[in-house]
Each structure stands twice: as structure tokens, then as C-alpha cells.
Amino acid sequence: MGYSWNWGVFLQPSATGDDTYLGWMFYGFKMTIGLSLSAWLMALFLGSIIGVLRTVPNKVLSGLAMAYVELFRNIPLLVQLFLWYFVLPELLPASLGNAYKQSNPVVQQFLAAMICLGLFTSARVAEQVRSGISSLPPGQKNASLAIGFTLAQTYRYVMLPMAFRLVVPPLTSEFLNIFKNSAVCSTIGLLELAAEGRQLVDYTAQPYESFIAVTLAYLLINVVVMFSMRWLEAHVRVPGYIGGK
Amino acid sequence: MYEFDWSSIPGALPFLVQGMYISLEITAIAIVVGIVWGTLLAMMRLSSVTALSWFAAGYVNLFRAVPLVMVLLWFFLMIPHMLESIFGFPRGSDMRLGSAIAGFALFEAAYYSEIIRAGIQSVSKGQMAAANALGMTYGQSMRLVVLPQAFRNMVPLLLTQGIILFQDTSLVYVSALADFFGAAYKVGDRDGRLVEMLLFAGAVYFVLCFTVSQLVRYYQKKLKTA
Amino acid sequence: MIAINKVSKHYGAFQVLTDCTTHVNKGEVVVVCGPSGSGKSTLIKCVNGLEPFQSGEITVNGVSVGDPKTDLPKLRSHVGMVFQNFELFPHMSIVENLTVAQIKVLGRDKPEADEKGIQLLDRVGLKVQALKYPGQLSGGQQQRVAIARALAMDPICMLFDEPTSALDPEMINEVLDVMTELAQEGMTMMCVTHEMGFAKRVASRVVFMDHGHIVEDDLKDAFFANPRSERAQQFLAKILHH
């Protein structure tokens, strides 16, 4: 079809002259990894708290946790991202908003992207944690209360250690999702992997090479995450325990 | 403090409704094609013909490993380019809506096929054996016995995936196609009222998706008690 | 030791317990029996506050269970309970199952808790299994561990909620033997069970429940020799003749 392949394009000096196109790609790759991992830590932390709150007997707390989950689940990620990036700085008190707007644009983009991905994913993590907790045999909670544990101790020593083991597989897919969802952040100008791929299309006239390279990079991330989570799953497996009852 | 001005919304309503129509059109077609193609993929994946099950596994894993944004960019930037050079379509013809629908349908099929595969596997093996014992062929057993039971259990999951798909259609933003979100963004940008338009768009998505998800939950409860 | 006075409980319109009154004196073994759905499991769960109840009063060692001011975890820490499905903690080794509450609830130090745990495992004949996990033990072994776990807290009384109903027949006796031994040592026990042989051997009194009511509350011999109510007669006839 008359297309001339040229994989050597990655080694050519980039348009700005200070790097190769491979260097651009690598910059985007690092950005995707850094953004996804920091957002993931946030999501895991917040999601665990919200997920636990959804299962506590206190109606007000569980109601608030449910509202949190519904809010972040029912608005598209792209809209949430734009709300964090374009809208929030306008609604902050002027001094804070201006300080933000005057900061380094990469920092602005990264912060908005991290908060957005972190909160969006935390709602999903919360749902997994909740379902992990509620899939435990109900007698476990009674047994730990009966032995004299407080509700907090029951969660800490009995329910959460088992619930987290049960949710490793669904959390794996949320972990994979956060890398994939990070590509949405190219829309606010953050130069992560997908954005660099698009840049290369514009600068090199070798669109296929750059898109194939970016797609392969995502596949690589996928494989690495999957194997490490599988290792984790095997590592925390409880001897003799087969699934929930 | 920021002063809100919502006055651009009323005048922009026809444009926004038109955008919503595009969002819903993409969603509806992608759901239907996605479920049909997803069912075929699921059956291939479970079939004893190695080539078919490898193909389905490869397809599903590939699409599930790549970000939707990347898939859409492939469909917006590369596929039209390929079609142009293969079939000699006029350069620059607007295939964005068609590309979007094709991209979403093929992408979602991978996700639907996983839901459907799990649904088929959740029907007990004894059902297949019983159908075979009555003299049904594989196709008949699937169509008359296994799939109806599988789909009944899967409806909530399929609908939930539909809600996610509807939310994801906002990503056609990367091709500047004026779906509901694209329309809202354009109006906000034009009138210098981005804050209001983005909040409005968020609220509309929330109300729609929340309502449908509550309906799905209600249906799920009825299914459980039935 | 345990006093249950006019306790009633309902879920919405469904009445689970109606005006239940009975007691367990120190050193007594009271067996609670009755058809399934009669409320016996609910009643025993009310004793340590696992199930709330709407009216009436339960006191354990003089402490009111239903009083919102009562420190329930503290009360429960010296009321042992054994469950139908064992409910060992699957992610902890057997010995950890026996020590975790000693350490975290009673504040014992680890060597002391370990020593106590091993000693009790030895007593139920499972010392060699100390480092295994619950999923690697048979049902009967798990239930014996569960009894040891409750005993590790030095309970003033023990509650048994159908401890043998989830067991294969050949494992029932190993659990009943441990319970019988406990009873003979003078432990105060309240047992929901269908094991009438066990009741005949060690019970002081038998409480018979039906539809949320306590229908009979009698000395063991009187109950077995001559149940007063027709429902108890039918129940005994069914359960003894199979």
C-alpha cells in the first residue's frame, strides 16, 4: 500500500534537537508509570477506607461512603479530569487558585491527573474491598466479636486480612485499568505514553511505527503487572483455603 | 470568588441534544454489535477447536491490554488512512462517526465476551449433559438451554458495562467529534463559560448513569428473589 | 451465672423469640433443643450480645447484656463461644488462632499466650497440628481447635451453638468427648444441640424451644422420662428413632 517502513526513525534526533524520538517515548513511558503508580497508591489507600466504611453498621458512615462511590462511578473519567484541571482552580479561593495557575504547567497537569485517576479508581477499589468483605462467611465476624475483639479489631485482625487476599484478582484488573486510564490524561496535554505517540505521528510522518511502539509498550506494562500480581497472589495464599464459602 | 453565569446553556440546548444523540447512537450500536460479536468470541474461546479459541483469546487479551484512547486513535488516524490507500477513498473524507462506532464495538466486544464467557461457564455442566442426553446438537443445546440461562444471569452485568460504555463515548473528544461532551466543551470554550458547561455536562452524565444503574440494581434484586 | 428474663426479639413483623425465660447456674450444663427455626440459635447469640433483642433482660455474671453502657467486648472476652461452622481464622496458623485474642484482647505477652495455647491444643489432642492452617485440618479437628481457642481466654462459661451439626458423623464423637470432659470438670455450659446422648450423659437441665417460645425447661431426667408437651414428645420421638 505504498507505505515505507522505517524503524530507524526512533534513533533520529528529535525535532527539538536535544533528544532522540526514542527518548521522547521513554519520557512518556516514565510519565505513564509515575502517574499510574502514584494514583494507584492513592486509590488503594482511599478505596480501602471507603470500602470498609461501606460495610460498617453505622448508617451515616456507610451512606456517605456509598454516595462517594456513586459520585465517582457515574461521571465519565474525561469529564472528571476536566473538572479537576479546568474547573477546580477557578473555584478555589483566588490566592490558592492563582498560585496553582502560576506553577509549572507539567506540575499542574500531573497533579490534576493524579488526583483524578486516584479518586476515580478509589471508588472502584472501594467496591472490590466491600464485596471482598461481604463475601466472607458471616460467622467470621461473630466469631471474632464473640472472642472479645472490638469491631475495629475484628476488621483489622480477621476480616481485612482475608478480604484483601480474596480481592487480589479483581484489584489486579483495577491496577491494569489505571495504566490504561492514564492515557486519558493526554487530553490535558500531559506528555505520557499515548501523547508522545501522537506527537511522533505529527513530527515524523511514520505513524505506524510510533503507534505500534506505543501499543507494545502498553502490552509490556500489562504483562509485567499481571505477572507481579500473580506472584503476590501466590505469595499471600492461605494454606488449605479454597475460595470463600 | 468565582461568579457563575449559566446563561449559555438555554441557547446551546439544541446543539447539546444533537450531541447527546450522537453519544447514544454510538452507545447503542456498540452495545448491540459488541454483544453479538462478544458472544461469538466467547463461544470460540470455549470451543474445542484450538485455532478458534486461540484467536479469540488473542483478540480479547489484545483489546483488553490497550487503552481505549489508543484504540480510538488507531481508528481515527490509522484505519481511515489504510482504507484510503487500499480502497482509494477520497482523502480527508469524514469517517469519524463510523470510525468511532467501529472502534467502540470492536473494543467493547472484548469486554462483553469475557462477561458472556463467565456467564456460560456459570451454567452448570449438567445442563449441557442433560440437553445432549435429549438428543440436542451442540448448537441446539447452546441456543435453547445454556445461552438463555446464561443471559438471564448476565443482563445486569451487560447493562452495567453499557453504562461504562456510555461514559466512555466522551473519549471521542480526541477526534473532535461533537458528542454530548464535545458539544458542551465547544460551547463553553466559545462563550468563555467552560466552568459552567463542564459542571453541567458532569451533572447530566451523573443523573443519567445513576438513574440507569439504580434501575439495573432494582432489576438485579428482582432477579435474585424470582 | 446466665439469667434470661422475658426476652423477645423480632425482625420486622416476624417474631423470633417470645418471652423467653431461663437460667444457667454456675457449674450447670443446660442443653437447648428444638426443631430448626425454633429460635434456639438466636437465643444463644443473644446471651453474648451477638444478636440484639428488643425487650427483656439477659445478665451474665450480673452484667446486663442489653445495656448500651455495657462493655460488650470485655463481657464477650470471658464468655467462650463455639460455632456450628467452627469459624477459625483461615489466614492464621492453629496456634495463632489460639493466641491472637489472648494477646490483643487480654494483653498477655506472646510467650505466655503461646504456652497457654500449646497446653490447650495438647488437651484437645492436637498439639502436633499447631503450625498448620485451619484449611488443612478435618472438621472435627477444627472444632476441637475452636473449643481450645475459647478456653484460652479462661472463660467463666461456654456457649455452644450446634457444635456438631456441620460435622461428618464419624467426627461427632471426638468433639462430644471434649465437651463431655469439660462438663465433668464443672464448666458452666449452655449448648444448643441435637445430640440427645450428650444431653443424657451430662446435662443438668434441658430447655425445649418451639416457634420462639421456651416450651419446656426441666431437669434432664424428667424431660427424657416424661416430656410434658406434645411437641416435645413428637420431637423426641423423631430424633431418638433414627
- Please report whether residue A6 resides in a domain: no
Domain that residue A174 falls in: 21-236
- What SS3 state is found at B176? coil
- Please report whether residue A177 resides in a domain: yes
- The yes-or-no reply on C/B contact (3 CB pairs or more, < 8 Å) is no
Compute φ and ψ for A55, nearest 5 degrees.
Answer: -105, -5
Lowest mean pLDDT among A200-214, B82-96, C77-91: B82-96
- Closest Cβ opposite residue A143 in set C73, C83, C137: C83
Residues B170, A78: C-beta atoms closer than 8 Å = yes
Compute φ and ψ for C190, nearest 5 degrees.
Answer: -125, 120
Interatomic CA distance for residues B39 and B53, integer angstroms:
13
Average pLDDT over chain B reads 90
Lowest mean pLDDT among B5-19, C198-212, C227-241: C227-241
Interatomic CA distance for residues B38 and B111, integer angstroms:
8
What distances in angstroms separate CA A111 from CA A90, A240, B174, C30, one per listed residue?
Answer: 15, 44, 21, 65
Q: A223-236: per-residue pLDDT in tens?
A: 999 999 999 988 88
What pLDDT is attached to residue C99? 94
Lowest mean pLDDT among A169-178, B129-138, C158-167: B129-138
Which is more confidently placed, B140 or A72? Answer: A72
Which residue does chain C place closest to A147, by CA atoms?
A: C77
What pLDDT is attached to residue A244? 39
- Closest Cβ opposite residue C87 in set A143, A153, A240: A143
pLDDT of C115 higher than 80 = yes
Mutation target for A interface from B83, B163, B170, B173: give the one with most A CBs within 10 A.
Answer: B170
Q: Say how many CB pairs under 8 Å bridge A and C.
A: 85
Cβ atoms of A172 and A37 within 8 Å: the answer is: no
Single-letter code of the amino acid located at A53: L
Cell numbers linked to B63: 483489546
Residues A79, B198: C-beta atoms closer than 8 Å = yes
Q: A96-107: per-residue pLDDT in tens?
A: 888 888 889 899
Chain C residues within an 8 Å CB radius of A143: 81, 83, 87-89
Shortest CA gap B156–chain A (Å)? 16
Q: For B114, what's the count of Cα atoms within 13 Å in the CB-facing half-sphere?
A: 14
Please state, as a whole number, how many other Cβ atoms lie within 10 Å of the Cβ of residue A231: 10
Cβ atoms of C120 and C112 within 8 Å: the answer is: no
Cβ atoms of A14 and A23 within 8 Å: the answer is: yes
This prediction's pTM: 0.86
Residue C126's pLDDT band, with cuts at 50, 70 and 90, is: very high
What pLDDT is attached to residue B226? 67
- For chain C, list the contacting chains (3+ Cβ pairs, <8 Å): A
pLDDT of A245 higher than 50 = no
Residues A148, C87: C-beta atoms closer than 8 Å = no
Interatomic CA distance for residues C216 and C86, integer angstroms:
29
Span B40-58, average pLDDT:
93
Q: C198-214: per-residue pLDDT in tens?
A: 999 999 999 999 999 99
Shortest CA gap A199–chain C (Å)? 50
Cβ atoms of A187 and A78 within 8 Å: the answer is: yes
| Beta bridge mates, C7 | C20
Chain C residues within an 8 Å CB radius of A133: none
Q: How many domains does chain A have?
A: 1
What pLDDT is attached to residue C216? 92
- Please report whether residue A11 resides in a domain: no
Long-range contacts of C203-206 (CB under 8 A, 24+ apart): C203/C29, C203/C30, C203/C31, C204/C25, C204/C28, C204/C29, C204/C30, C205/C28, C205/C30, C205/C31, C206/C30, C206/C31, C206/C32, C206/C33
Chain C residues within an 8 Å CB radius of A161: 91
Q: A114-164: per-residue pLDDT in tens?
A: 999 999 999 999 999 999 999 999 899 999 999 999 999 999 999 999 999
Q: B167-193: per-residue pLDDT in tens?
A: 999 999 988 888 999 999 999 999 989
Shortest CA gap A158–chain B (Å)? 29
Shortest CA gap C101–chain A (Å)? 7
What pLDDT is attached to residue B202? 96
Span C90-106, average pLDDT:
93
- For chain B, list the contacting chains (3+ Cβ pairs, <8 Å): A
Q: What letter does residue C61 receive in the DSSP assignment?
A: T
Interatomic CA distance for residues C22 and B144, integer angstroms:
58
Shortest CA gap C188–chain A (Å)? 17
- Burial zone of B8 (CB within 10 Å; 0-12 exposed, 13-18 middle, 19+ buried): middle
Residues C91, A162: C-beta atoms closer than 8 Å = yes
Q: Say how many CB pairs under 8 Å bridge A and B.
A: 107
- Please report whether residue A244 resides in a domain: no
Chain C residues within an 8 Å CB radius of A149: 73, 101, 104-105
Give the residue ranges of DSSP H helices in chain A.
21-55, 59-73, 77-82, 88-91, 94-102, 105-134, 138-146, 151-153, 160-166, 168-181, 193-204, 207-235
Interatomic CA distance for residues B79 and B83, integer angstroms:
6
| Beta bridge mates, C207 | C32, C217
- For chain A, list the contacting chains (3+ Cβ pairs, <8 Å): B, C
- Please report whether residue A5 resides in a domain: no
Single-letter code of the amino acid located at C163: P
Chain B residues within an 8 Å CB radius of A85: none
- Please report whether residue A53 resides in a domain: yes
Residues A219, B210: C-beta atoms closer than 8 Å = no
Mutation target for A interface from C89, C92, C145, C190: give the one with most A CBs within 10 A.
Answer: C89
Residues 6+ apart with CB under 8 A from C225: none
pLDDT of B128 higher than 80 = yes
- What SS3 state is found at A230? helix
Average pLDDT over chain A reads 91
| Beta bridge mates, A13 | A20
Shortest CA gap C230–chain A (Å)? 34
pLDDT of C68 higher than 80 = yes
Q: What letter does residue A240 receive in the DSSP assignment?
A: T
Residues 6+ apart with CB under 8 A from B136: B144, B145
pLDDT of C29 higher than 70 = yes
Maximum pairwise Cα distance, chain B: 75
pLDDT of A1 higher than 70 = no
- What SS3 state is found at C161? strand
pLDDT of C242 higher than 60 = no
Residue A237's pLDDT band, with cuts at 50, 70 and 90, is: confident
Cell numbers linked to A46: 482511599
Mutation target for A interface from B23, B66, B74, B160: give the one with most A CBs within 10 A.
Answer: B66
Q: A75-92: per-residue pLDDT in tens?
A: 999 999 999 999 999 888
Shortest CA gap A176–chain B (Å)? 8
Cell numbers linked to B94: 469524514
Shortest CA gap A150–chain B (Å)? 32
Long-range contacts of A9-15 (CB under 8 A, 24+ apart): A9/A200, A9/A204, A9/A206, A9/A209, A9/A210, A10/A209, A10/A213, A12/A204, A14/A203, A15/A203
Span B116-142, average pLDDT:
85
What is the distance in angstroms between the CA of the first residue and the CA of the last residue of chain A? 58
pLDDT > 90: what percent of chain B?
Answer: 58
Which residue does chain A place closest to C74, by CA atoms?
A: A148
- Closest Cβ opposite residue A87 in set B173, B181, B198: B198
Q: Give the range with max mean pLDDT: B19-28, B123-132, B140-149.
A: B19-28
Residue B79's pLDDT band, with cuts at 50, 70 and 90, is: confident
Span C118-129, average pLDDT:
95
Residues 6+ apart with CB under 8 A from A188: A81, A82, A85, A109, A112, A113
Going from the N-terminus, what domains does chain B have, and what CATH number goes with each? 12-225 (1.10.3720.10)
Interatomic CA distance for residues A165 and A145, integer angstroms:
21
pLDDT > 70: what percent of chain C?
Answer: 99
> E-strand spans in C12-75?
14-24, 29-33, 55-60, 63-64
- Please report whether residue A2 resides in a domain: no
- Please report whether residue A78 resides in a domain: yes
The strands making up C157-161's β-sheet, listed across from edge to edge, are: C79-82, C157-161, C189-192, C29-33, C205-210, C213-219
Cβ atoms of A33 and A117 within 8 Å: the answer is: no
Cβ atoms of B79 and B157 within 8 Å: the answer is: no
pLDDT of A242 higher than 70 = no
Cβ atoms of A196 and A28 within 8 Å: the answer is: yes
pLDDT of A195 higher than 70 = yes
Residues 6+ apart with CB under 8 A from A197: A25, A28, A210, A211, A213, A214, B70, B73
Chain A residues within an 8 Å CB radius of B213: 70, 73-74
Maximum pairwise Cα distance, chain C: 55
What pLDDT is attached to residue B58? 95
Q: Domain with A206 in it: what CATH number?
A: 1.10.3720.10
Which residue does chain B place closest to A70, by CA atoms?
A: B210
Interatomic CA distance for residues A133 and A155, integer angstroms:
9
